[in-house]
Amino acid sequence: MKFTPGKATLAILLLLSAGFVFTLLVSADDLQAESPDYEESALTAASWALPEAVSFAGEEMPLQNFDTRESLDRELNATAYRHGSTLLTIKRAGRYFPEIEKILAENGIPDDFKYLACAESDLANVISPAGATGFWQIMESTGREFGLTINKEVDDRYNLEKSTRFACSYFKKAYERYGSWTMAAASYNNGFSGISEQIGIQKETNYYDLLLNEETARYVFRIVALKLVISDPSRYGFLVTEPDLYPPVPYREVAVDSAVTSFEQFARHFGTNYKILKFLNPWLRKPFLTNSSGREYIIRVPEKDARITTGL
């Protein structure tokens, strides 16, 4: 049987609907009254203003050019609103930047290159679909070319110290080739051949004047956006205090020049467990080390109570 509402029923429905709308309006008014920052709450998304001047590795970005400004604006807003990943990168910077900064300084590489590692991996030992690995996203062939050990038991691409030194070697060669730290950074993404080919075609040697593939064209701008956000998180809406940052894990180094049949037993011997040993030495890819050549390896073991003091 088909139901057809009468006039009385329609009147009741209209009254109920009006009451519901009134409730919503009152609730919204109450929210605004209770929250003085209502208009600036997470309900709105503002465009973050660019600084008047920005540089990378001591080289000024030509923000007077509309395409440069808009490219940085794109990456800054994308980075600032990529909340979860950016927040974790800021936290990890507290743990890993001290070692990276030290190695960059020792090799005469500008400090800003630490943000390149953030752009590459968010400071995590990730593997790309193409096989690039570690903080600095190193391909196997390139790593071997620069002297890294990469085999089934040891992979130096996961070794923060050695992979950072690899990156420094690359940056030095790139700077010698292009005479620009900005171009050196761009070439890390596109390779010497890719950048040099475009220089030959376009007769331009300035990164900001070159038409490059999408990824490389955005690359330096993403690095600089990360620099802006990580160096001043609160300016871009990240409420991060010193205790929120992940602290470095205190460790000492142990030299090993023989085989290790069990890293579980090795860890116990030094007062830790396999999990923490691998956390400090992700470059050890197996639970053992054959080391038939008698090569010396430097293995990190935590200082006493390091796990407790760092919250691991």
Give 266-298 pLDDT, tens digit per residue. Answer: 999 999 999 999 999 999 999 999 999 999 999
State whether CATH 1.10.530.10 applies to domain 55-241: yes
Burial of 176 (0-12, 13-18, 19+ CB in 10 A): exposed
Contacts of 121 (CB under 8 A, 6+ apart): 134, 135, 136, 137
Write out pLDDT tens, residues 242-275. 999 999 999 999 999 999 999 999 999 999 999 9
Indicate whether 38 pLDDT > 60.
Answer: no
Three-state SS sequence of 222-257: HHHHHHHHHHCHHHHCCCCCHHHCCCCCCEEEEEEC
The runs of H, that is alpha helices, within the chain are: 7-34, 66-80, 83-106, 114-121, 140-145, 160-178, 181-202, 214-231, 263-269, 274-280, 306-310
How confident is the model at residue 45, as a pLDDT? 78
Backbone angles phi and psi of 255, in degrees to 5: -85, 130
Q: Is 275 helix (H, G, I), strand (E, B) or coil?
A: helix
189 closest CA partner among 129, 116, 130: 116
Write out pLDDT tens, residues 55-72. 999 999 999 999 999 999
How confident is the model at residue 312, as a pLDDT? 65
Q: Residue 75: count other Cβ atoms within 10 Å of its Cβ.
A: 21
Burial of 196 (0-12, 13-18, 19+ CB in 10 A): middle
Q: Which residues of 109-124 are buried (b: 16+ CB within 10 A; e: fewer)?
A: bbebbbbbbbbbbbbe
Q: Residue 275: count other Cβ atoms within 10 Å of its Cβ.
A: 11
99 closest CA partner among 267, 212, 220, 250: 250
Pairing state between β 297-302 and 55-56: unpaired
Q: Count how many Cα atoms sit within 13 Å of the Cα of residue 197 in the half-sphere of its side chain.
A: 7
d(CA 154, CA 268): 21
d(CA 37, CA 21): 24
Write out pLDDT tens, residues 152-189. 999 999 999 999 999 999 999 999 999 999 999 999 99
Domain coordinates in residue numbering, the chain: 55-241, 251-310
Q: Count how many Cα atoms sit within 13 Å of the Cα of residue 281 in the half-sphere of its side chain.
A: 27
Q: Residue 54: count other Cβ atoms within 10 Å of its Cβ.
A: 19
d(CA 232, CA 228): 6
What's the mean pLDDT in 300-312?
75
Q: How confident is the model at residue 307 (pLDDT cuts 50, 70, 90)?
A: low
Indicate whether 31 pLDDT > 60.
Answer: no
How confident is the model at residue 308, as a pLDDT? 62
Write out pLDDT tens, residues 194-236. 999 999 999 999 999 999 999 999 999 999 999 999 999 999 9
Write out pLDDT tens, residues 81-137. 999 999 999 999 999 999 999 999 999 999 999 999 999 999 999 999 999 999 999
DSSP label of 41: S
How confident is the model at residue 46, as a pLDDT? 84
How confident is the model at residue 133, as a pLDDT? 98
The residue count for the chain: 312
Q: How is residue 71 written in tokens?
A: 């490219």
Percent residues over pLDDT 90 in the chain = 82
